[in-house]
Structure 1
Amino acid sequence: MLIMLRSFADEDYSMSSSPNSQVYMFGSHEESVQRYHLLNEILLPATADGIAHLAPKPDMQILEIGCGVGDTACYFAQHVVPDGYVTAFDLSPVFIGLAKQQAEEKNIKNISFICADARDIVLKSNAYDLAHTRLVLEHISERDVIVQKVYEWLRPSSCFFCEEQVILHGKTSADHWLNQLVSWRLTLVEVGGGNPNYATAELAEHMKAAGFTEIQSLVSTSHCDPVKVNEINYLGLQREMKQKLIDLGIATEEEIEAMLRAMSKKPPDKSLSTFTMFQTLGRKP
C-alpha cells in the first residue's frame, strides 16, 4: 500500500486477468511496519474527516477490513467509539500480532483483532454499525464479492466507508522518479489481480449491485509532509517492491538502484505536499 502517487499524465490502466491473482504485491511482514505507520500519519486526518461526515455514535460497533498494523482501528476504538467496539482483521499474522501489541500498549480494551482473509472470514450478519477499509479492495480480484459480504455484515441503516485511492498533487518533470514509481506500482497491483483504479471505475457500481443506497463519492484534499511522503516511497521500493519488480521483469536492479539514489538525493519538491483521498460511502437500507 504505497501512497497512491499517480502521475499527472497517467493514462487509464486497462485491467486483465492474471495467473498471479489473489497476490498482495506489497509487504505484509516486519519490513513494512515503518512505512505503514508513516502512511497512517499522513492519511488519518482525511479518514477522520470522512468518519466525522457520518456523525458516528460513541457506542457503535465498527468493523475494520484489512487493518494492517492496527493504527486506524486503534484510533477508532479510542476516539470514535469509546463506548462501542472495534473488530478488525487482516490476512497477515505479523500485522495482527503488532496490532494486538499496539492495543495492549495503549490499554485499549474495546477492540479485537482477527487473522483472516476477507474472502474466507465468517462473521455474524447484521452485526455492525459501520464498516471501514482503506487501500485494501484495489488489491483483491473478487472486489464485488467482498462488497457483498460487507453488506451482509452490516445492520440496516448502517454505512460502508471505503477509501481506495490517493493521488499526490504537484508538478514534476517528465523524468522525475515519481512518474516511474507510479507506473511500477500500478503494474504490481494489476499483476496481483487488483484494479488500481477501483475507486473511480468499479466501487460505486459494486456497492449498488450489493444493495447499498445513498452512495456518495467524497473527495478529501489534505496537506502532507513531503519528507514523510518521500520516506514512505523509499521504504516501499527498497524493502517491499524491489525484488518483486525484478522477479517479474518489470524493472532491473540497476534501474531500481538508480531510482533509490535519486530519491535519497532529491526529496520531493515542497509543492508535493497535498493529496486527494477518494472516499465512497454507501448505506444499507
Structure 2
Amino acid sequence: MGQDNGYLLDNAQVEAGARFDALSALFDASTFRHFETVGVDKGWRCWEVGAGGPTVPGWLAERVGPRGRVLATDIDVSWTETATAEGVEVLRHDVALDEPPVGPFDLVHARLVLVHVADRDAALRSMVRALRPGGWLLIEDADPALQPLICPDEYGPEQELANRLRRGFRQLLQQRGADLSYGRKLPRLLREVGLADVEADAYFPITSPACDVLEAATVHQVRDKLTAADLATDEEIERHLANVASGRLDLATSPMISSWGRRPLEDDL
C-alpha cells in the first residue's frame, strides 16, 4: 500500500471529543508542570500549536491574565472553538505550511503534533521563528517505538490481541508519514535549531481509566482502516473493544517525551 498523508485521527470524527478528554486526563498535569518549569506568568504571550481541545489554552489564559495573550491554532479548530475559554484567540493554521502568526511569543507549545506532521522540520523552524529572544519552546510528543506494547504485561490472549491491533495501528501511522521514534529526538532537534538550556523528561501512564477511554475511541476511529488493510477483522475488533470495556486490561500509552529550550538572548551569542 502506498503512503497516505491524511491525518489518521481526524478531529472531525465524533470520537475526537472522547480522545481529547482522555488525553487531557492523562497528560494535562504533566504539561502544566512543564509550563511551571519554564515560568509562564502574567502578561506572557503564548502560542498553542495544534490545540485540539480547550483545556491547555484555557490554563494558559488563566495564568497569563488579561495583559497576556493566548493564541490557539490547528488545522481543524472545531473542538477548540466550541469550548474556548475567555481570553483565547482561535485561528485555523497549518504550522508546516503557513507563515507563523504575528508574535513574538514568550512561549510556543505543541503536544502530539509534530509526530504526525509530514514536514516536521519546517514546523519546528516556524515555531522557533515566532519566539522572542529568551522565549521558550516546549514540544511534547509520543515515542511509540520506544515502548511499542499497549499491554506491557502480555500474559494472556486478551493482551496479545490488544498488542496485535496496536501493531496494526502503528503501521497505519507509518503509512501516513508519522515518525514513531520522534519523541526521543526532541532534545537534539531543539539544540540543532539553536535553542539553549535544553532539557527533557518522559511520562508514561501504564494503567488508567483514561487509557481505556483513549483506546476505545482510537479503535473506533481507525477500525475501517484496520479492516480495509487486513490488519484486523471486525470480530477481532469487537472482541478487543469488549475486553477494553471489561476494565481487565492494563492499557498503557506510548511514552510522552517533553523537551524544552529557550531562544538565546543577544548577550548569549
* Corresponding position of 1:14: none
Runs of 4+ in 1 over 6 A off after TM superposition: 166-169
* Corresponding position of 1:229: 211
Amino acid at match of 2:153: K
Given the alignment of the two structures, is residue 217 of structure 1 paired with residue 200 of structure 2, yes or no? yes
Distance 1:205 1:45 in 2: 25
* TM-aligned CA distance change 1:169 to 1:279, over 3 Å: farther
Distance 2:261 2:19 in 1: 29
Given the alignment of the two structures, is residue 206 of structure 1 paired with residue 185 of structure 2, yes or no? no
Distance 1:19 1:164 in 2: 22
Distance 2:125 2:253 in 1: 33
* Corresponding position of 2:248: 267
Task: With the length of structure 2 as denominator, give the TM-score of the two structures.
Answer: 0.84
* Corresponding position of 1:179: 163
* Corresponding position of 1:118: 95
Deviations 1:90-131 (A, max 9, x none): 111xxx23322312xx5x1x2111112212222346511111
* Corresponding position of 1:43: 27
Higher relative contact order (CA 8 A, sep 6+): 1
Find 2:18's aligned residue among 8, 23, 34.
34
Deviations 1:7-65 (A, max 9, x none): xxxxxxxxxxx6323x2111311411122112212211111111111122211001111
Q: Is the 8 A contact 1:46 1:277 kept in 2?
A: no
* TM-aligned CA distance change 1:69 to 1:219, over 3 Å: closer
* TM-aligned CA distance change 1:61 to 1:43, over 3 Å: same
* Corresponding position of 1:54: 38
Given the alignment of the two structures, is residue 284 of structure 1 paired with residue 258 of structure 2, yes or no? no
* TM-aligned CA distance change 1:218 to 1:242, over 3 Å: same
Amino acid at match of 1:128: F
Amino acid at match of 1:27: D
* Corresponding position of 2:267: none
Please give the residue correspondences for 1:1-285 in structure 2 after superposition, counting only pairs within 5 Å. Answer: 19-21=3-5, 23-31=6-14, 32-78=16-62, 80-82=63-65, 83-92=67-76, 96-103=77-84, 106=85, 108=86, 110-124=87-101, 127-165=104-142, 171-173=153-155, 175=157, 176=159, 177-200=161-184, 202-220=185-203, 226-238=208-220, 240-269=221-250, 277-285=256-264
Distance 1:274 1:188 in 2: 17
Distance 1:124 1:36 in 2: 24
Distance 2:25 2:60 in 1: 14
Distance 1:258 1:46 in 2: 33
Distance 1:247 1:224 in 2: 30
Q: Is the 8 A contact 2:211 2:253 kept in 1?
A: no
SS at match of 2:153: coil
SS at match of 1:155: strand
* TM-aligned CA distance change 1:273 to 1:97, over 3 Å: closer
Identify which range, 52-61 or 166-175, moves more after superposition: 166-175
Question: Which runs of 5 or more residues in structure 2 are unaligned?
Answer: 265-269
Identity of aligned residues (%): 20
Distance 1:207 1:273 in 2: 27
* TM-aligned CA distance change 1:204 to 1:33, over 3 Å: same
State how many pairs are aligned: 255
* TM-aligned CA distance change 1:169 to 1:30, over 3 Å: closer
SS at match of 1:48: helix
Query: How many Å apart are 1:262 and its aligned residue?
Result: 2.1
Distance 2:245 2:101 in 1: 48
Query: How many Å apart are 1:86 and its aligned residue?
Result: 0.7
Deviations 1:141-161 (A, max 9, x none): 211111111111111111110
